[in-house]
Amino acid sequence: MFTKIPIISKEIEVYIADLLGENIANKYFDNICTPMEEYTLHVYKDETKIDEILQALQRNKFQASIHNEYSNLIICSPNGPFKLDSQPNLKKIVVDTKASEMIYQGADIYVPGVKRANKVKQGDTVQIVNQQNIHVANAEAQMNYKEMLENRKGLAAKNLQSPYVVPSIEQLNLDDLSIYFQSFPAYLTCLNLEPKTDERILDCCAAPGNKTIHLSEIAGNKARIVAVDRSKNRLRKLSDKINKFRIKNIEITSGDIIELSKKWNVKFDKILIDPPCTALGLRPRLSIKTTKDSIKSMSRYQKAIFHACNKLIKPQGEIIYSTCTISREENEEVIEYANEKLNFETIEQKYRHSDYASVVEDLKYPVQRFIPGIHKTLGYFIAKMRKI
């Protein structure tokens, strides 16, 4: 029926086929297990560094250019695909799903991602496989198997060969510059909220914070922004970025926005809702364990977040709702809930770069969808709402 990939259940395969149609579903399945064709590097405020960044990318053999509409975005492509050398006698390091997807793109192997490393010695050339035994890289062990299993951190193995190599700021030796990778749909998400100077803005699922920083940048670092997230660890990463970029107008709050909304007596001009989701649009995905039940459960939580934000938005205030997933329940059904139950209207977006709107035929909302295989980016959904 479709290009078979060993990472997805029949239930979800059929679900996506019904959702997207056979032609687009085929393209999705062909591309969801590969990196994005285009990565966007966001240059924060100081565009004088762009030539330096382009040169660093080119030195590392990445194709790169300035976006033809947005002068603070650099578009770069991953290198690959490369065929992995397969030597059946090599020892194996087994890594978890999240780690395998990073290693597949050229990342090194770190101890927290290691699940097993039987009899591996320091200096061994090893195969890196995920828990479904998919070969994702060849590497050189930097410690023996006992150290890998006993240590909580550290470099377990150095990546020697992977199917793809995606640029990273560390690899480019550009850590000192105020830049970060931000997917193009996420960039458009912030533009479409159109934050203004002196507006009060809430980013209610903020960490790790790239969109929070972008919202501040668009508003000239003068909007009053509150960034909320449940994960204290991820909020620390946002705090580090805020300090690095010397931003003074972002207030960080730890907690669940559903609970916080019950205590707060404040109204916001604009809110960004980019909630937890099933991430069926992220690339590459080498193991998709999502079920239809987990999609429905996530949709209920997303609606609860929207309900909480309904208490916090001013009359005529605007909300951007975005996800990196493709399901109907987590996208169209959430904004339909907001329209019918919470008195919102879905409005046009000023910045549009996708002709794909709703996948639900009887819903004519002016949303944007990005679909792997159709677009050179991750799968993504953007809707703009106004409180009426």
Q: Any idea which residues carry the catalytic annotation?
A: 324
Q: Which of 386, 24, 377, 333 is nearest to 186 (CA)?
A: 377
Helical (H) or strand (E) element with 273:
strand 268-273
Cα separations (Å) of 49 from 78, 214, 291, 364? 21, 18, 45, 42
Q: Shortest CA distance to 75 belongs to which of 83, 86, 87, 67?
A: 67
What is 130-162 written as a DSSP string? ETT--EEEEEEESS-HHHHHH-SSSEEEEEEE-
Encoded tokens for 85: 């050398």
CA distance 261 to 226: 13
What b/e string do you get for 74-89 counting C-beta neighbours within 10 Å, with b at 16 or more? bbbbbbbeeebeeeee
Q: Which residue stretches of 41-88 are H helix?
A: 50-59
Which two structure tokens, joined as six digits, stand for 28?
A: 């999705």
Contact between 365 and 383 under an 8 Å Cβ cutoff? The reply is yes
How buried is 315 (Cβ within 10 angstroms: 0-12 exposed, 13-18 middle, 19+ buried)? Answer: exposed
Look up residue 242 and give its two tokens.
Answer: 């805020």
Q: What is the DSSP letter of 224?
A: E
Identity of the amino acid at 222? K
